[in-house]
Amino acid sequence: MMANELCLDILGTSFTITADEDESYLQNVLAQYRSAVENTQSISGINEPLNVAILTGFLLCDEVNKIRHQLEEYSKKRSNEEQEVQERALRLIANIDNALKICGNE
């Protein structure tokens, strides 16, 4: 994959990063971050760029962890449901086997 450069101009700071991601993906991530920064400023009333950046990073990490936890809970629930379906299928097979044995002995 070809490296792409992205110019970041946010919170009064400008610099360029190089990443092995598609340019449209990078632009999307930057737009999401800008939106998160604006949201942080709006809900906190903080205007100091460093503080806004730190709080935004913290809030984004919080969101990532909550989503990760939801995915883990969903995965556990799904695993339990799959195990229950497997156990039911095995019981049905055993019942069918028993029924066939009884029918075969008549």
> Could you tell me if residue 64 is inside a domain?
yes
pTM of the model: 0.68
Residue-wise pLDDT tens for the chain (106 aa)? Answer: 678 899 999 999 999 999 999 999 999 999 999 999 999 999 999 999 999 999 999 999 999 999 999 999 988 888 888 888 888 888 888 888 888 888 876 5
> Could you tell me if residue 20 is inside a domain?
yes
Number of folded domains that form the chain: 1
> Could you tell me if residue 101 is inside a domain?
no
> Could you tell me if residue 90 is inside a domain?
no
Question: Which residue range is the domain that position 43 belongs to?
Answer: 4-79
Torsion 89-90-96-100 (CA) sign: positive
Mark out the alpha helices in 1-106 (DSSP H runs). 23-44, 49-105
Which residues, listed in sequence order, are joined to residue 8 by a DSSP beta bridge?
Answer: 15
